[in-house]
Chains A and B, each alone.
Chain A
Amino acid sequence: MITAVDLRKYFGPVAAVDGVSFTAGNGHVTGLLGPNGAGKTTTLRMLYGVMRPDGGTIQVDDVDATRHPQAAQARLGVLPDVIGLYPRLTAREQIRYYGELHGIEGGRLEERTTELLRGLDLMHIADRRSAGYSHGERTKVAMARALVHDPQNVLLDEPTNGLDVMSTRAVRAIIRRLKAEGRCVLFSSHVMQEVSALCDSILVIAGGKVVAYGSPDELRARAGHDNLEDAFVALAAPGEPR
């Protein structure tokens, strides 16, 4: 469970995130929806502790993440904006490295690594260096790496960006599975279909502010549009011609 209250982040005079508040519950998929530059990535970066908020508080489970960022990070599995695999390490080694950084060792680490490689259908590339991976393979390895410590909360920054249909489906299946396991999943996207297909609740962000928050049905009702895309445009950019 992740709770953010009045998050703020400024880059010079620009307010990239300007008072974002929400709660993302366990066993629940929360979508962070917004156009490019709306502040989705900055919000996530503050949540996963690589950017300090200029204002507001973050609570991850029972940890105050603004005060104890590392304790919060131990409860988070993160797929960042840029995947950043090590080209000279194999999939197994990347997962193992992150496991070790989380303090997992020995047989338990090997078991968990193999379990993830199997679960994400990565066994065929497990011992190949990642330099030659497809984009879909890289995303899945990064997902496995993020989940190695069995985190209660999972943050995914545009996980399906640039993926083909098969890989997109695979990622969606993973998100559904994480939800079924009772985890709190928060992911950002600018793709409407995806958000409507997966999310229990949607946070629409524009210009660093939350412009709407609710279930897909609630958003449709609020904007007065049956189509979620039209609803999104009405909410995120009022006055924009449809």
Chain B
Amino acid sequence: MRRTTRWARLVRVVLVKELVDSFRDKRALGSILLSILIGPLITGFMMNRIADRQRAADDVRIPIVGSENAPALVQWLSQQSGVVVATGPSDPEQAVRDQVEYVVLVVPPDFSDKFRSSRPAAIRVVADSARSDSRPQVDRVHRLLQQYSAEIGALRLIGRGVSPAAARPLQVQEVEVSTTQQRAARLLSVIPLMVLLAAFTGAMQLATDATAGERERGSLEALLVNPVPRGALAFGKVMAAALAAMLAVAVTAVLCTGLLRFIPLQELGMRFRFGAPHMAGLMAAALPMCLLTAAAQSCIATMAKSFKEAQTYMGILILAPMLVGVLGTLYPIDNQPWMYGVPLLGQYVLLTSVLGGYAPSPVAFVAAGIVCVAGAAVFIRATVALLNSERIVFGR
């Protein structure tokens, strides 16, 4: 019992010293501040872009070349809400390629002949599918043309005494099972990524400075002369870095979700509710991970021969959360139980679920948390082994 309290007291001493030391370090402060602010900034920027694009898609400007060939169509288009018909450019393909126009409609001269004789009348939509920002406009134009085509087709059938229903053997009905909140979460998947990143960037400077920095400044040998168990030293340093990561994670989560209030989610067709239980869920998912990131970074930085080398490793390590984020966007994750057992992936799934408005079972939180704590314990043990190695301490 007395040994445990002594151990805990030494951990606290090391922890406080590392925090005081690093909060006087402008580099560390700058990096923590940056890690805190970058997430909300990126999130806000992306959300705003999406909202802008959605608004732009509703108000579509359609330049038409050869509008005199299809006056009825042009008139119908101009009567649709949010549609502005304009005269098309002389070279439609070049105009789209040069990104002067999102989309151009070209009506060939034989359009009215074919149209009048009830043969399929070709009409060209000039668009650049490589441009993702024109997608909503192009889609809207396609929908409008299909709608016009269907209406005319129905009229023609009625004119021939056939029920338009006969020409529609199928009626496709989509049953949407995801709630709007879930669809919003898909769009908001950038927030879990930012929270994961904050767990890395928040701890990075402190973890590096307290290990590789300590060695590079030559203070490690003097520190090891004190009668302190290496485990208490390593744990104190890791805890200091973990606290910095937790701060970054908490602030990122609060700012990112707070930003959503200022973003016109309604215009995106989303309802997004976020309250105290959601915030508690985010924290329960993300905070145990901070211990793991801090321990992993401390261990790797202890191995590095210099501060510079340690920073290189940190740069590589940060690819891990990015990979999870990229995979999460490429392959929309359907929650599998095994995912909670994989660090980072488990947190990503939990964060996405919480933002999606449905709570994973407490077992999932506990399992994912235990995996992180166990991983942290392994890294702390490895750090202790490194501190016991003369090759590491004396840099041979």
Which residues of A approach B to under 8 Å, CB–CB? 11, 45, 48-52, 70-71, 73-74, 76, 78, 80-89, 93, 97-98, 100-103, 129, 142, 145
Q: Bound complex: CA of A175 vs CA of B232, how far in Å? A: 32
Contact across chains for A88 and B390 when beta carbons are under 8 A apart: no
Q: Bound complex: CA of A45 vs CA of B390, how far in Å? A: 11
Contact across chains for A89 and B21 when beta carbons are under 8 A apart: yes
- Residues from chain B with a CB closer than 8 A to the CB of A78 are 222, 225
Give min CB distance, B110 to chain A, whole Å: 81
Contact across chains for A101 and B228 when beta carbons are under 8 A apart: yes
Is B393 interfacial (CB 8 A cutoff)?
Answer: yes
- Residues from chain A with a CB closer than 8 A to the CB of B226 are 73, 98, 101-102
B1-28 interface code vs A (CB 8 A; 1 in, 0 out): 0000010011001100100110011000
B199-224 interface code vs A (CB 8 A; 1 in, 0 out): 00000000000000000011111111
Is B275 interfacial (CB 8 A cutoff)?
Answer: no
Contact across chains for B13 and A97 when beta carbons are under 8 A apart: yes
Give min CB distance, A73 to chain B, whole Å: 4
Q: Bound complex: CA of A89 vs CA of B226, how far in Å? A: 18
Contact across chains for B222 and A83 when beta carbons are under 8 A apart: yes
Give min CB distance, B308 to chain A, whole Å: 17
Contact across chains for A86 and B227 when beta carbons are under 8 A apart: no
Cβ-closest chain B residue relative to A157? B221
Cβ-closest chain A residue relative to B390? A51
- Residues from chain A with a CB closer than 8 A to the CB of B25 are 88
- Residues from chain A with a CB closer than 8 A to the CB of B258 are none
Given contact pairs A50-B393, A100-B13, A101-B13, A80 touches B217 in the complex (Cβ within 8 A):
no
Q: Bound complex: CA of A86 vs CA of B13, how far in Å? A: 15
Is B229 interfacial (CB 8 A cutoff)?
Answer: yes
Cβ-closest chain B residue relative to A79? B222
Contact across chains for A80 and B221 when beta carbons are under 8 A apart: yes
Give min CB distance, B316 to chain A, whole Å: 28
- Residues from chain B with a CB closer than 8 A to the CB of A81 are 221
Q: Which of A50, A71, A81, A89 has the most CB of B within 10 A?
A: A50
Cβ-closest chain B residue relative to A105? B9
Q: Bound complex: CA of A49 vs CA of B222, how far in Å? A: 11
Can you give 7 A-B contacts (C-beta < 8 A)? A49-B224, A51-B394, A82-B222, A84-B223, A103-B9, A129-B24, A145-B222
Q: Bound complex: CA of A216 vs CA of B346, how far in Å? A: 70
- Residues from chain A with a CB closer than 8 A to the CB of B24 are 88-89, 129
Contact across chains for B217 and A50 when beta carbons are under 8 A apart: no
Give min CB distance, A40 to chain B, whole Å: 15
- Residues from chain A with a CB closer than 8 A to the CB of B221 are 45, 50, 80-82, 84
Cβ-closest chain B residue relative to A131? B24
Contact across chains for B390 and A52 when beta carbons are under 8 A apart: yes
Q: Bound complex: CA of A80 vs CA of B222, how far in Å? A: 6
- Residues from chain B with a CB closer than 8 A to the CB of A101 are 10, 13-14, 223, 226-228
Q: Bound complex: CA of A74 vs CA of B228, how far in Å? A: 9
Contact across chains for B224 and A50 when beta carbons are under 8 A apart: yes
Q: Bound complex: CA of A89 vs CA of B23, how far in Å? A: 11
- Residues from chain A with a CB closer than 8 A to the CB of B14 are 101
B217-256 interface code vs A (CB 8 A; 1 in, 0 out): 1111111111111000000000000000000000000000
Cβ-closest chain B residue relative to A84? B219
Q: Bound complex: CA of A45 vs CA of B218, how far in Å? A: 14
Contact across chains for B21 and A49 when beta carbons are under 8 A apart: no
Further pairs besides A11-B396, A50-B221: 12, Cβ < 8 Å: A45-B221, A50-B225, A50-B393, A52-B390, A70-B228, A70-B229, A76-B225, A82-B218, A88-B21, A89-B20, A101-B227, A101-B228
B294-326 interface code vs A (CB 8 A; 1 in, 0 out): 000000000000000000000000000000000
Given contact pairs A51-B390, A103-B6, A73 touches B225 in the complex (Cβ within 8 A):
yes
Cβ-closest chain A residue relative to B225? A78
Given contact pairs A89-B21, A101-B13, A103-B6, A84 touches B222 in the complex (Cβ within 8 A):
yes
6 tightest Cβ-Cβ pairs between the two chains A and B: A84-B219, A82-B218, A84-B218, A70-B227, A73-B227, A101-B226
Q: Bound complex: CA of A97 vs CA of B217, how far in Å? A: 17
Contact across chains for A142 and B222 when beta carbons are under 8 A apart: yes
- Residues from chain A with a CB closer than 8 A to the CB of B390 are 50-52
Give min CB distance, B24 to chain A, whole Å: 4
- Residues from chain B with a CB closer than 8 A to the CB of A129 are 24
Q: Bound complex: CA of A52 vs CA of B394, how far in Å? A: 13
Q: Bound complex: CA of A152 vs CA of B90, how far in Å? A: 96
Give min CB distance, A155 to chain B, whole Å: 9
Give min CB distance, A149 to chain B, whole Å: 9
Cβ-closest chain A residue relative to B25? A88
Q: Bound complex: CA of A159 vs CA of B224, how far in Å? A: 19
- Residues from chain A with a CB closer than 8 A to the CB of B225 are 48-50, 73, 76, 78, 80
- Residues from chain A with a CB closer than 8 A to the CB of B21 are 86, 88-89
Q: Bound complex: CA of A50 vs CA of B229, how far in Å? A: 12
- Residues from chain A with a CB closer than 8 A to the CB of B220 are 84
Give min CB distance, B359 to chain A, whole Å: 43
Contact across chains for B217 and A102 when beta carbons are under 8 A apart: no
- Residues from chain B with a CB closer than 8 A to the CB of A70 are 227-229
